[in-house]
A and B are shown apart, each in its own frame.
Chain A
Amino acid sequence: MNYRVILVERNVDMLSHMAGTLKADDSFDLASTYRDADMALGQSSVFRPNLFLIDVDEPRAVELIGNFVRDYPQAQVIGLMENWKPDRAERVISAGGCGCIIKPFSIAEILGALAIYRRRGKALPTRTISFFSPKGHSGRTTLATVMAIELAKKSGEAVAVIDADLQFGDVAMFFDAVTERNVVEAAYDIRLLTPATLEGYFHPLGHNVWIMGGSLQPEHAELVETDQLIDVVRMAGNLFRYVLLDLPAGFNPISLALAEYADTDILVSMISSGQEVRHVKRSLKMFHMWDNYGKKIYTIFTNVQNCTGDHQKKLESELGRHVTKILPVERRITEVTGSGRLMKDLPERTPFVQAVAEFADEMVSGRR
C-alpha cells in the first residue's frame, strides 16, 4: 500500500530530517509538509492524504487531532513526540488517532505503529479493567483470564492481562506459558520504552490475547514503583483495546493505585467461610471514594453453591448493594487452569464460562 503523507512539524530541522526519511522510501509519498497544524487541517484536502504525521509536542496540535480524524475519514493520524508522554498519547488515541511514535522515526516504526493500531481494534479509548479481591484464593485470576479470552472472542480486538500480583502471580501458569520478560522488568524499563518496544514484554497466546507475566522472585516486587507500573498500564493501552489487571489481594499501594487508575473495577470474592460478604462490604467503602467519578464498579461472587436469583438477592441484602454476578462452582475450570490448558481447553459450555461470556458481551457492547 502506498501512503500519501502530510507531515506537520514546527521545528524546521526536524521537519526536513523526517521528510528525508519519508522521501527515501518508495511506499511513502510525501504530499506536503506544514509547520502549523491549523494550516494543515485547512489545506490538506487538495492532496487527498491517507496518513497524517503530526507533531503533538505542540499543544494546539493535540487539540486538533479529533478534527483531522473527522475531516479526513480516509486518513490515519499518527502523533509524533520527542519523548514518550503518556497523557498526550492517550489523548491522540481517544481522539481517534492511531497512537504516537517517537521522532525522528524510521519507516519501520511508522509501519509498526500502523500494524499495532490495526490489531488493537476500534478507534476507541482503551478499557482498563482491574480485578480486585480483599483476600486471595478468590477466583480473581481465573475470572480475569477467562474474561480476557471472552473479550477477545466477542470483540475481535486485542486484549492483554497484566499480572500485577507481583509476588505470587499465576497468570502465566494458567496458560502454561513461559514468559521471557515479566512485569517487574517492564516497570523497571518503562521510561525507556515506547509501545512498539513494550510489545516485546507481552507474551502472545494467540486468539488476540496477550499476557505480561509476573516474576518468579517475590523480592523483585520491591523494585517496582507504583507510577512505573501505572505507566506500563497506560502504555499498554496503546497496544491493546482492553487491558486487564490482575491485582494483588487486599489494599496495598499497588492495588490501590491500579484500581484507582482503571475505569472499571471488578471486586471478586469467593464464597467459602461465610466471612466474605463482610470483607466485600468493607472493601466497597474504599472503592466508594471513586464511585462518583463515572467509574464502574462491579461485585462478583465466585464459588457460589446455590447459583440462583434468590441466592443472589440474599447476598445483595447482606451486602446492602447490587451484586453484578454470581458464578457457580466449576471443577473443570480449576482443572484447566491448574494444568495450564485454559486457552486450549476452555470448557465453553459450562455455566461459569457462559456467565463470564455474557458479562464480556455486555462490556463489548458498551452496556457495562
Chain B
Amino acid sequence: MEGIRSIIIAVFSTSSGSGKTVTAINLAAGLADEGYRTCLVDLDLQFGDVLGYLDMVCDVTLADAQRAILRDEKNFRIDDYLTEYICGETSFAVLPPPRNINDAYQVSVEAVEKIIGSMRGFNFIVLDLTAVFSALNLAMLDMSTVINFVGVMDFLPAVKNYKVGYDTLLRFAYEERKIRLVENQADSDRYIKYQDVERLLGTKFFHHLPYDYQAVTHSIRMGRPLIYSVPLSPLTQSYGQLVDRYTNKNRVTFSSKHEKQDKKGVLSWLLNGRGWKAAQNVK
C-alpha cells in the first residue's frame, strides 16, 4: 500500500439536514461492500451522528488520536484510534468525533490534517463534514480528491445556500470537476425543479438521489447502512450507482425489476428475500 494515496471523498453541504451523514455512511458502506478498504471520518465534531446512525460504541475518538499525534508523531498509528464497523462480511473503519463538546472545541485543524494524512492503508476515506465554511472544513476540502456537494432543493432558502455555497467553492478556486453536485431529492410534490437549479448554478448535477424517507428512517433505526437494512430501496440502488461512479465501475442496473415495488414501503423490501436475509445475517 505504501505510496498509494487514498482517494478522499468529502461529503459537504451548505444547508443542514441535506443528508450529509446518510450519504457519507452509505458511500463508505458501498465502497467497503465493493471490497475497498474504507475509512469513514465523522468531522461534525460537536454533534456528529455517524455513531448514532450506525448504532456503534467506540472507546477511542478523534480527541485521543489528536492527543497522541501531538505527543509523538513518529510513533503514531492511526489504527489504534479506529473502530471497525462490521456488517456481515464487509467492514469499514470509523473515526468518531470527540465524546464531549469541550474536546470537540479543542480539536485543531493541523492535527486533523496530520491524522488524515497518516491514513495510508485505505483506498477510500470518506469525510462527513458540517454545513459551514470553517477552517477545518476548508482544510479538508483542500485535501479531498472530490467534493460530494449535497443539497436538498425543497426550500428556497436552501437553494440560495446551495448556490452561494457552490459560488463560494468556485471563488475559493476549487476546480469545477472536483466538485460533484449531488441532489438529494425531496418529496415528490416539490415545487422547485432541479433543472431550474441547474440553470441557476450554470452547471449540471452529477447525481440525483431519489427520495425515500422511510428507507432512511428504517436504516437509522436498525443502525445499519441502507445496503444492509433496505437493500432494494431505489435510494440504496442510487447510492450503489454513486459508488460505482467514484470507483469507475459500470454496474448493471437492475432497477427496472424493483421500480414496481417502489411504493410498497419498507416491509416489502425487508420481506423480499435478500433484504431480510441480509438483515438477519449481520452482527
Interface residues in chain A, defined as those with a beta carbon under 8 Å from any beta carbon in chain B: 134-138, 167-168, 170, 173-174, 216-219, 221, 248-252, 270, 272-275, 278-279, 282-283, 285-286, 334, 337-340
Contact = CB atoms under 8 A, between A and B. Distances in A.
A143 to B, nearest CB: 15
11 contacts: A138-B16, A167-B14, A168-B131, A168-B132, A170-B157, A216-B164, A218-B132, A219-B171, A251-B105, A274-B52, A274-B220
Contact of B49 (A275, A334, A337): A275
Contact of B15 (A137, A283, A338): A137
A338 B104 CA distance: 33
A168 B166 CA distance: 12
Contacts of B225: none
Contact of B17 (A168, A174, A216, A272): A272
Nearest to A138: B16
A306 to B, nearest CB: 15
B139 interface: no
Contacts of A337: 155, 157
B156 A338 contact: yes
B168 interface: yes
B188 to A, nearest CB: 15
A134 B155 contact: no
B86 interface: no
B165 interface: yes
A274 B104 CA distance: 22
A318 to B, nearest CB: 14
The residue among B18, B47, B134, B220 with the most chain A CB atoms within 10 A of its own CB is B47
A168 B15 contact: yes
Nearest to A256: B105
Given A173-B157, A334-B155, A251 B16 contact: no
B160 interface: yes
Interface string B91-123: 000000000110011000000000000000000
Contacts of B85: none
Contacts of B269: none
A22 to B, nearest CB: 49
B16 A137 contact: yes
B161 interface: yes
Contacts of B14: 167-168, 218
Nearest to B154: A338
Nearest to B100: A282
Contacts of A273: 49, 52-53, 217, 220
B174 interface: no
B184 interface: no
Contacts of A173: 156-157, 160
A174 B247 CA distance: 41
Chain B: number of interface residues, binned into ranges: 20 to 34
B24 to A, nearest CB: 14
Contacts of A275: 49, 52-53
Nearest to B17: A137
A167 B46 contact: no
Given A136-B16, A218-B133, A338-B156, A251 B101 contact: yes
Interface string B32-66: 00000000000010110100110000000000000
Contact of B221 (A251, A272, A274): A274
Interface in B150-181: 155-157, 160-161, 164-165, 168, 171-172
A217 B133 CA distance: 11
B49 A338 contact: no
Given A273-B49, A282-B47, 10 more contacts: A168-B15, A170-B161, A270-B17, A273-B52, A273-B217, A273-B220, A282-B46, A285-B101, A334-B155, A337-B157
Contacts of A249: 16, 130-132
A84 B172 CA distance: 38
Contact of A251 (B46, B49, B132, B133): B46
A280 B218 CA distance: 23
A167 B100 CA distance: 25
B156 A168 contact: no
A134 B156 contact: no
Nearest to A171: B157
Contact of A168 (B47, B52, B161, B220): B161
Given A134-B46, A136-B15, A273-B220, A286 B133 contact: no
Contacts of B155: 334, 337-338
A320 to B, nearest CB: 17
A248 B132 contact: yes
Given A136-B17, A167-B133, A174-B157, A278 B101 contact: no
Contacts of B49: 273, 275
Contacts of A279: 47
B57 to A, nearest CB: 13
B79 to A, nearest CB: 27
B11 to A, nearest CB: 15
B89 to A, nearest CB: 27
B52 A286 contact: no
Nearest to B99: A282
Nearest to A217: B168
A337 B154 CA distance: 12
